[in-house]
Amino acid sequence: KKHLRYLGVILDTRLSFGKHIETVAKKAATSAAALGRIMPNINGPGQWKRRLLGSVVESQLLYAAPVWAASVCGTAKSIRNLRRPHGVAALRAIRAYRTVSDEAAFLLSNMPPVDLIAREKVRIKGRYNDKPNPGDPPVSRERKATIVEWQMRWSTSGKAAWTRRLIPDLVRWYNRTTPIVPWTYHMTQALTGHGCFQFYLYRFARASSPRCVHCQCPSDTAEHTLFHCENWNGLCTDLRERLGHPPTSADVPDILCGPLFEDLPRLG
C-alpha cells in the first residue's frame, strides 16, 4: 500500500502527509459548505455562533497538526488545500461575499491562517517539558508569535488593499481595546469594499456604470461612499465634530482599534 491510516492520520511512504491533507481538506470543505447553508449573509446565526461553527472546520483541518505541520507547511499545494475550506469558514463568519479575499476574511474574523496555527501547535507541543511560567503561559506566548508572523504576511500581501489600508496594523487590530461588536452585513461591505458600491457592482456586470447614483463622482467606491459622497455628509456630523475635521481613511485605525492598551487610564 502507498498509504496507511494510523490513529486518523494518513501516512505515505515518504511521510509527506500530502494524502492526509487532501483528505482532511475535502472533509472540511464538505463541512464548510454545509455550515454555509445555515449561515446566510443576511439574518441567520449571530457572530459568536458563526465563529463557533467555523471552529468545526478548524478542528478538522488541524487534527494531529504537531505530527504533520513541519512537513506540510513548507509545501505550497498543501497550504492551498488547507486554506481553501478555512477561507470559506472565515467568509461565513463575517457575512462576506465569496469575492472577498481569504486574507481579508481571516483578519476580520480574527482567525489566523490555518498553516500558522499548525506551526503554533508544533511550538506549543515542544514546550510541554518547559518549566511553567505563571505570568507567561506557552499558549499565550506562542499565539503572540503567530500574530507577529501573520502581521508580516499581511503587510506584504498583494490582496485586500482596501482592508489593509483601513487596518494596516494587524497586531493592534487583534489586541484592540474597543468593544468587540458583532459583524453586520454592511460593516463587512464597508471594510472590504465588496458590496453595494456601484464600482464593485459594475466590475461584476451588476450595474450599468461605476458612477455614484447620488452625486457626479465617476467611481462609487467604498472610500467615496464613506468619506466623500455629499449625500451621506449628514450622517457624519457627530463624528466630524468629535474628530475636529472631516473623517478620512487615516482615522479608521483609531476608530476601530481604540487607544493602545498601555495608553489606557489605570483604575485606582
Range of the domain at 32: 3-159
Q: Which has more pLDDT, 211 or 262?
A: 211
Q: Does 50 map to a domain?
A: yes
- CB atoms under 10 Å from CB of 198, counted, come to 23
Number of domains forming the structure of the chain = 2
Q: Does 174 map to a domain?
A: no
Positive or negative: CA dihedral 39, 40, 44, 49: positive
pLDDT greater than 60 at residue 268: no
Last residue of a domain, one of 159, 184, 215: 159
Tell whether 149 and 205 lie within a shared domain: no
Tell whether 146 and 235 lie within a shared domain: no
Q: Does 206 map to a domain?
A: yes
Tell whether 204 and 135 lie within a shared domain: no
Tell whether 106 and 202 lie within a shared domain: no
Each residue's pLDDT tens digit, 116-154: 999 999 999 888 777 777 777 888 889 999 999 999 999
Tell whether 118 and 37 lie within a shared domain: yes
Tell whether 127 and 236 lie within a shared domain: no
Each residue's pLDDT tens digit, 108-124: 999 999 999 999 999 99
Tell whether 13 and 120 lie within a shared domain: yes
Query: Residue 124: how many CA atoms within 13 Å on its side-chain side?
Result: 21
Cα angle, residue 153 at apex, residues 258 and 76 outer, rounded to 5°: 145
> According to the model, what pLDDT value does residue 267 have?
58
Whole-structure pTM value: 0.90
